């Protein structure tokens, strides 16, 4: 079977203990890479600064909206991070945990109007 190493976690669809979702790759990542079982094409990775401005015009016009987001982050955070799942009502407890972990990482203890640029970069 596959090998175990420090990056074996990457072969699972989700690595968090609270996730109900299983593996999405047919082999451990190390085996896929070492055997060349992947598309050998150039890959460009990156982000655009403040890309959320496209969807966050209201927050940009009135940053004080962010002052209330802590109270409703389970909804606002999930809909910001998983907009396609929100449209179909496919969100679950994992999504709420991911959103809260992201909030703590990007904004710390409290999200407020002073975090506007970070919020626009977050989306």
Question: Is the confidence at residue 13, as pLDDT, over 70?
Answer: no
Weakest-pLDDT range from 64-73, 86-95, 101-110: 86-95
Q: 80 near 122, Cβ under 8 Å?
A: yes
Average pLDDT over residues 45-61: 85
- Residue ranges of alpha helices (H) inside 1-123 are 29-34, 57-61, 69-81, 83-87, 93-107, 116-122
Q: How confident is the model at residue 10 (pLDDT cuts 50, 70, 90)?
A: very low
Please give the torsion angle defined by the CA atoms of residues 9, 10, 15 and 19, in that order, rounded to the nearest 10 degrees: -130
Residue 96: closest CA among 84, 112, 79, 119: 79
Cut 0.85: pTM above it: no
Question: Is the confidence at residue 27, as pLDDT, over 80?
Answer: no
Tell me what percent of the residues of the chain surpass a pLDDT of 70: 80
Please give the torsion angle defined by the CA atoms of residues 46, 29, 33 and 38, in that order, rounded to the nearest 10 degrees: -70
Of 4 and 46, the structure prediction assigns the larger pLDDT to 46
């Amino acid at each position: 079977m596959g090998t175990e190493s420090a990056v074996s976690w990457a072969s699972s669809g989700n690595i968090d203990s609270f996730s109900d979702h299983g593996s999405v790759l047919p082999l451990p990542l190390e085996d896929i890479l070492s055997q060349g079982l992947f598309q050998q094409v150039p890959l460009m990775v990156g982000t655009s600064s403040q890309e959320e401005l496209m969807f966050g015009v209201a927050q940009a016009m009135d940053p004080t909206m962010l002052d209330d987001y802590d109270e409703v982050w389970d909804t606002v955070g999930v809909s910001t991070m998983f907009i396609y799942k929100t449209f179909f009502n496919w969100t679950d407890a994992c999504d709420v945990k991911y959103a809260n972990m992201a909030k703590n990482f990007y904004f710390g203890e409290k999200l407020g109007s002073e975090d506007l640029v970070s919020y626009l970069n977050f989306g």
